[in-house]
């Protein structure tokens, strides 16, 4: 075993960078008329096994924050490396100004339990109804109760087949993907 390395102090404003790289997801949500929006998010995580819940963090200034706050639902869509250019584009424009499904040419598919659509090109989808919202300063943590989930047949059984599925990770302003197992 290696001897512990010398530690440096990290500014509190930089601690989120200690938690990267993180998996990227695409959040879909809708406005009150049913118009869908897409937002890339790196702040997503499991929150409970029983009942199944997940959490996403969204900045107060984002259009998706407004939509999820009002409609109280969202879908977490899991993209793979083939969608990395879409992630970059979707994070650079606002759904207030642009129909992101139309301009990105991604496919909106009906969800099973919520009104918010799925992204057909993604490998998996988690449909959520907002169970609670936690104000954490400049972000809100939306805790979603999972009401349905789907995955591509060849990509998932009880875990992802990482030989076939290359999940996207974000590190600063760059992206990488899952690699090989080390143990």
Task: Render pLDDT for 132-146 as a digit per residue (tens, 0 to 9).
Answer: 999 999 999 999 999
Query: What average pLDDT does this structure show over 163-179?
Result: 86
Count CB-CB contacts under 10 A for residue 96.
11
Rounded Cα distance, 128 and 116, in Å: 9
pLDDT at 180 over 80: no
**Per-residue confidence (pLDDT) for residue 132, from 0 to 100:** 98
pLDDT at 92 over 80: yes
In this structure, the strands spanning 118-119 and 108-109 are antiparallel
Query: What average pLDDT does this structure show over 56-63?
Result: 98
**Per-residue confidence (pLDDT) for residue 23, from 0 to 100:** 92
**Per-residue confidence (pLDDT) for residue 162, from 0 to 100:** 81
Q: What is the mean pLDDT of the chain?
A: 94
Q: How far is CA 149 from CA 111, 112, 114, 118, in A?
A: 9, 8, 11, 10
Q: Delineate the domains of the chain, giving CATH numbers in brackets.
A: 23-177 (2.30.110.10)
Work out the burial of residue 112: count CB atoms within 10 Å of its CB; fewer than 13 is exposed, 13-18 middle, 19 or more buried.
exposed
What is the b/e burial string over 54-66, where b = at least 16 CB atoms within 10 angstroms of the residue's CB? bbbbbeeebbbbb
Q: Which of 41, 119, 27 is nearest to 73 (CA)?
A: 27
Query: What average pLDDT does this structure show over 107-114?
Result: 98
Higher-pLDDT residue of 175 and 112 is 112
**Per-residue confidence (pLDDT) for residue 72, from 0 to 100:** 98
**Per-residue confidence (pLDDT) for residue 10, from 0 to 100:** 93
Question: Partners of 149 in the beta sheet?
Answer: 126
Out of 16-20, 56-60, 69-73, 101-105, which region has the weakest mean confidence (pLDDT)? 16-20
Count CB-CB contacts under 10 A for residue 20.
11
pLDDT tens-digit readout, 24-33: 999 999 999 9
Distance in Å from the first CA to the final CA of the chain: 16
* Angle ∠(42,132,86) on CA atoms, nearest 5: 25
Count CB-CB contacts under 10 A for residue 140.
18
Dihedrals phi, psi of 83, to nearest 5 degrees: -105, 10
């Amino acid at each position: 075993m290696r001897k512990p390395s010398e530690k440096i102090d990290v500014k509190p404003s930089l601690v989120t960078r200690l938690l990267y790289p993180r998996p990227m997801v695409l959040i879909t949500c809708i406005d009150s008329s049913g118009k869908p929006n897409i937002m890339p998010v790196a702040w997503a995580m499991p929150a409970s096994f029983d009942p199944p819940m997940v959490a996403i963090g969204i900045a107060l200034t984002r259009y998706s924050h407004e939509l999820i706050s009002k409609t109280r639902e969202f879908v977490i869509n899991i993209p793979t490396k083939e969608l990395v250019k879409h992630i970059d584009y979707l994070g650079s424009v606002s759904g207030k100004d642009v129909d992101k499904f139309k301009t990105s040419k991604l496919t909106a598919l009906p969800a099973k339990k919520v009104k918010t659509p799925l992204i057909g090109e993604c490998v998996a989808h988690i449909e959520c109804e907002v169970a609670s919202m936690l104000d954490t300063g400049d972000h809100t943590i939306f805790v979603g109760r999972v009401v349905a989930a789907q995955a591509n047949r060849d990509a998932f059984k009880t875990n992802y087949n990482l030989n076939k599925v290359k999940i996207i990770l974000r590190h600063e302003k760059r992206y990488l993907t899952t690699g090989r197992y080390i143990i």
